[in-house]
A and B are shown apart, each in its own frame.
Chain A
Amino acid sequence: MTRRSDIALRATCATRHNYSHFSAWRAWRMYHGHGVPGPKDEGFMTMLTRLERWKAQGTISPEQHAYLSGLSRGEPFSLFLELNVLLYAGVLAFVAGLGWTVTTWSQQLGDVLVLSVLSTILAANFWYCFSRGPAWSPIETPAPNPIFDYVLYLGSLVWSLELAYIENRFHVLSGQWDLYLLATAVFYFFLAYRFDNRFVLSLALSSLAGWFGLTISHWPAHQDAAYREYALLYCVLVGAGGAVLQRLGMKPHFFGTYLNVVANILFWALLSGVFNPQGYGVWCLALFIACCASLAWGLARRQFAFVVYAAVYGYVGVSSLFLRSFTDETAVLFYFVVSGVAMLVVLVQIGRRFGRKA
């Protein structure tokens, strides 16, 4: 057993002394087969019965049995995820309110007061992170305490807010937003790698995408060549950067985030090329290559999100090619029936060979 499970076992033993009489009685009844009856079925065995049997067989130790039985009954019951969601929602609501207040009342409050408040929050957050943060390590480093990641996330969002305010009010860089975004992205990358924080890494990647002119709000309106080129350049730079950092052993667990972001932007960019009325041949070829690569990567690494990317983006690309040639509704519907069934057959085969486990 690992140290982690050992700690958990001790925690359970400590809880056992704190159980109410009712819980102890209920647990005793479960252990001795007097528990609430489950559904009737031949061969039916609840997890608790199985654990009892495995203990009797000697496959698991009595300590493991006690601990795992507790987990099966929800004792102790972990609120880890709920508390994290609460923290995230709290930070987001706070920043939204802060932004709204600053936008609405900046004239009445005055620049000095607004900037003082924002700078104080920012300084407090970063002081907390730099004073409490663990020593830097290239491998995955757990946060020193559960709220640490959210303090850093809050600081990062307030940084964006303050920069936006300064530029809007003082036009320091004469509207050169791209420089702000680039500086912000660099700063976020530094924070993400310094404190091992995925929230901030995602912020860095989206800020960098912003610098490349890739905000989603602008994307569907103009599928022009400029966006596509920027998107491809972004994919090459970020993908290569992520791969190099992984090879160097610098936070290699971040590589999945890089790949997912790059894959989605790449496929959108290629699809926008396929949708072009002219000169789409090369984009079709590129989409085909990307789909093959994504499929191969997904199957080899058992990362089925990439199989889904290949299937969905590839299908959209092929369908757009077909639909530009046929306008007859019978042919179009026939295509969807045949292609849908074909995709099902292929995916079922993939599922049978590779996809049993998530």
Chain B
Amino acid sequence: MRLYSVSSEETLRARKLLTDWVGEGFLSKAQYQLLEQETVSELRTTNIFLRLVLFLFTLISVGAAAGLFYVVARPSEQTAGVFLLIFAAVCYAVAEAAVSQARLYRYGIEEALAVCSVVFLCVGMQVTFFSTRFYSPKPDAAECVVPAAGVVLSLWIWRRLGYSYAFLAAMIFVVFVPGYWTSSLAAQHLIAAVFYAIGLAGVIAVRSRHRFDYLDETYSLVEAFLWLGIYLTINLQLSSLNLHGLWWGSTRAASEFARPFYWTTWVLIWCLPPIVLVRGIRQKDRFVMAVGAIMAVLTLVSDKPYLGWKRHTWDPMLLGILLTGAAVFLRRWLARGPGGIRHGFTAARLSGKDKNWMSVGSTVAGLLSPQPPAPQPRSPDFRFGGGQTGGGGAGGDF
């Protein structure tokens, strides 16, 4: 099912590990040059910066091409929908061709084409089959085929091309499906959580076969997404998307759900983080551990709104002390083990990637840190202006 051969992906992984190890001094330059020749892959890759910018310009080109077609052809609404479906097929076919013929691997172009195919498919289906119901307040149950198609195509792209964000997209589409089946909010939350739980069971069953190969990281990320998805669907304070209310102690969610359901979810948000953390630690799974930690913090943050308690201004300070204390304790505890290692864990840096992340992260974090308010420039000739297209023919200047 996968478009890339196993050996080429494993070879790429081996090449990345070699580059990391030589950077850390675990291998000499001479050894690297010898081993490098054994890890030559036929796949065409690029660096993260060019990948991002190629992705962006492919999106611009494809989006503009689709727009141009409609501006020039001016088709009827349903014809437009059919053409969108054709565009989806074309985009997907070109993405497949870019991989199979040009051997592109995480190159940005084929990724953007795959993303466009999902967008065109969903919009095309909506316009073709349900265009008359676009603005209907009560959705038709049959309309669920639109997000369902998004789920299926995203999952297919994930399996075929291996993009973890395609799996995330599938999870987001899943959120919209229950809304077409029932108006009960509790049932919607439950259905989404059940979908994620089924996916999680499947991923856990499959990934044990790939513990030490290149697929392990992919499955790890997907498992982490699914755990987080389950958590977010059962945490009624977070999934209400009322973050302002959450911060200021609103208890909106309490009145919208039946009491047994509400308090069951409260119990679950306390039970899930330790389960996920323990699983991450036992599996030595970075992403699952990280999600476990995120869930624990979110539980602490959303607990007061859940209980209807008032939030205090010093709550973030207590959270900060807890996080810092946990980090310092863990680091010291690990460092005191023989060779700085306990139960196979160490606080020491073993990869050059970590150093790069720290370097970039500290720069960005420092730039985004809170600062005292800045002065306004004293500009004597300050004036409003610059607009090119004012509404109703108004000019840009005042």
Residues of A within 8 A of B (CB): 1-2, 4-5, 8, 10-15, 17-19, 23, 30, 35-48, 50, 54, 59-60, 64, 67-68, 71-101, 103-105, 146-147, 149-150, 153, 157, 160, 163-164, 167, 177-178, 180-181, 184, 197-203, 205-207, 209-211, 213-215, 218, 222-227, 230, 257, 260-261, 275-277, 304-305, 307-308, 311-312, 315, 324, 327, 329-330, 333-337, 340-341, 343-344, 347-348, 350-351, 355-358
**Residues of chain A contacted by B260 (CB below 8 angstroms):** none
**Given contacts A202-B366, A275-B386, A347-B54, A97 and B315 within 8 Å (CB-CB):** yes
Residues of B within 8 A of A97 (CB): 313-320
User: Given A83-B327, A97-B319, 18 more contacts at CB 8 Å?
Assistant: A18-B343, A44-B6, A59-B35, A75-B344, A80-B354, A97-B318, A157-B370, A202-B363, A206-B367, A211-B374, A215-B371, A215-B374, A227-B377, A257-B363, A336-B67, A337-B61, A337-B68, A340-B61
A-B contact count (CB 8 A): 388
Q: Which residues of A contact B385 (CB under 8 A)?
A: 277
**16 cross-chain CB contacts under 8 A:** A12-B341, A38-B212, A75-B284, A80-B354, A81-B357, A90-B324, A94-B324, A96-B370, A199-B369, A201-B366, A206-B369, A210-B374, A277-B397, A307-B53, A312-B56, A356-B45
CA distance A277 to B244 in the complex (A): 39
**Chain B residues with CB below 8 A from A308, complex form:** 49-50, 52-53
Q: Which stretch of B25-33, B128-136, B142-150, B183-191 is in the interface?
A: B25-33
Counting chain B residues whose Cβ lies within 8 A of the other chain, the interface size class is: 35 or more
- Given the known inter-chain contacts A36-B208, A46-B213, A83-B347, please indicate yes or no for A68 contacting B366, CB distance below 8 A: no
Q: Which residues of B contact A350 (CB under 8 A)?
A: 50
Q: B331 within 8 Å of A by Cβ?
A: yes
Chain B residues, CB < 8 A from A4: 24-25
* Secondary structure call for the B interface: helix
Interface centre among B211, B215, B330 (most CB of A within 10 A): B211
* Chain A residues within 8 Å of B326, by CB: 86, 90
Q: Is the CB of A307 within 8 A of B313?
A: no
Q: How far is the CB of B101 from chain A (nearest CB, A)?
A: 14
Indicate whether B349 reaches chain A with its CB closer than 8 angstroms. Answer: yes
Say yes or no: A333-B316 contact (C-beta < 8 A), given A17-B338, A178-B375, A347-B54: no
Partner of A340, one of B39, B58, B215: B58
Task: Give the residue among B52, B340, B346, B375 with the most A Cβ atoms within 10 A.
Answer: B375
Q: Give chain A nearest CB distance to B272 CB in angstroms.
A: 19
Are A351's CB and B320's CB within 8 A?
no
Contact of B290 among A82, A160, A163, A329 (CB under 8 A): A82
Whether the Cβ atoms of A327 and B52 lie closer than 8 Å is no
B347 touches A146 (CB 8 A): yes
Query: Quick check: is B76 within 8 A (CB to CB) of the other chain?
Result: no
Q: How far is the CA of A300 from the CA of B297 in the complex (A)?
A: 44
Complex Cα distance A72/B346, Å? 15
A78 touches B372 (CB 8 A): no
| B377 & A213 in contact (Cβ 8 Å cutoff) | yes
Chain B residue nearest to A276 (CB atoms) is B386
Is B396 interfacial (CB-CB < 8 Å)? yes
CB distance from B135 to the nearest CB of A (A): 24
- B residues near A160, Cβ cutoff 8 Å: 370-372
Q: Is B205 an interface position by the 8 A CB rule?
A: no
A330, B71: Cβ atoms under 8 Å? yes
For B27, the chain A residues whose CB sits under 8 A away are 60, 64, 68
The answer on a CB contact under 8 Å between A10 and B339 is: yes
Is B47 interfacial (CB-CB < 8 Å)? yes
A97-B316, A213-B376, A351-B46 in contact; A82/B340 too (CB < 8 A)? Answer: no
Contact of B213 among A39, A157, A163, A201 (CB under 8 A): A39
Contacts of B297 in A (CB 8 A): 89
Determine, out of B9-17, B85-93, B151-159, B174-182, the stretch whose residues face the partner at the interface.
Answer: B9-17
The complex places the Cα of A153 from the Cα of B324 at a distance, in Å, of 13
Residue of A18, A104, A181 touching B338 (CB-CB under 8 A): A18
Which residue from A14, A37, A205, A336 sits with its C-beta under 8 Å from B341?
A: A14
Q: Which of B25, B68, B343 contacts A1 (CB 8 A)?
A: B25
| A157 to B324 Cα, complex, angstroms | 16
Residues of B within 8 Å of A39, CB to CB, are 6, 210, 213, 215
A23 to B348, CA, bound (A): 21
B34 interface contact, C-beta 8 A: yes
Q: Quick check: A277 and B386 within 8 Å, CB to CB?
A: yes
Of the candidates A14, A177, A202, the one whose C-beta lies within 8 Å of that of B365 is A202
Is B373 interfacial (CB-CB < 8 Å)? yes
Q: How far is the CA of A98 from the CA of B13 in the complex (A)?
A: 45
Q: Are A80 and B49 in contact (CB under 8 A)?
A: no
Determine if A72 and B17 form an interchain contact, defined as CB atoms under 8 angstroms apart.
Answer: yes
Contact partner of A344 (CB less than 8 A), chosen from B10, B57, B210, is B57
CA distance A276 to B371 in the complex (A): 30
Known contacts A68-B21, A82-B286, A333-B71; A199 and B362 CB within 8 A of each other: yes
| B309 at the binding interface (Cβ < 8 Å) | no
Nearest B residue to A26, CB-CB: B211
Contact B10 A44 (CB under 8 A): yes
Closest A residue to B215 by beta carbon equals A39
Complex partner residue of B386 from A100, A163, A178, A223, CB under 8 angstroms: A223
**Once the chains are docked, how many angstroms separate the CA of A312 from the CA of B234?**
41
> Which chain A residue shows the least CB distance to B366?
A202
Closest 4 pairs (CB-CB, A-B): A202-B366, A94-B320, A14-B339, A97-B316
- Does B350 have its Cβ within 8 Å of any Cβ on chain A? yes
CA distance A286 to B46 in the complex (A): 30
Q: Which residues of B contact A99 (CB under 8 A)?
A: 370
Check A15 against B341 for contact (C-beta < 8 Å): yes
User: With A47-B14, A146-B331 as given contacts, are A202 and B317 in contact (CB-CB < 8 Å)?
Assistant: no
Across-interface contacts of A222 in B (CB, < 8 A): 379, 382, 384
> Is B264 interfacial (CB-CB < 8 Å)?
no
Q: Would you call B52 and A19 a contact (CB within 8 A)?
A: no
| Residue B278 at the chain A interface, CB threshold 8 Å | no
Taking the complex as formed, is B209 at the interface, i.e. its CB lies under 8 A from any CB of chain A? Answer: yes
Docked-complex contact B213 and A100, CB < 8 angstroms:
no
Q: Provided the pairs A44-B6, A307-B50, A340-B58 are in contact, do residues A199 and B365 lie with their beta carbons within 8 angstroms?
A: yes
B138 at the interface (CB under 8 A from A): no
Say yes or no: is B141 at the interface (Cβ < 8 Å to chain A): no
Chain B: which residue is nearest A163 at the CB level? B372
Partner of B61 from the list A88, A230, A344, A355 (CB cut-off 8 Å) is A344
Query: B261-293, CB under 8 A of A: which get 1 and which 0?
Result: 000000000000000000000001010011001
Contact A184 B372 (CB under 8 A): yes
B258 within 8 A of A: no
With beta carbons under 8 angstroms apart, the residue of B17, B284, B371 that contacts A210 is: B371
Chain B residues with CB under 8 Å of A77's CB are 284, 344-346
Known: A44-B7, A213-B376. A329 touches B347 (CB 8 A): no
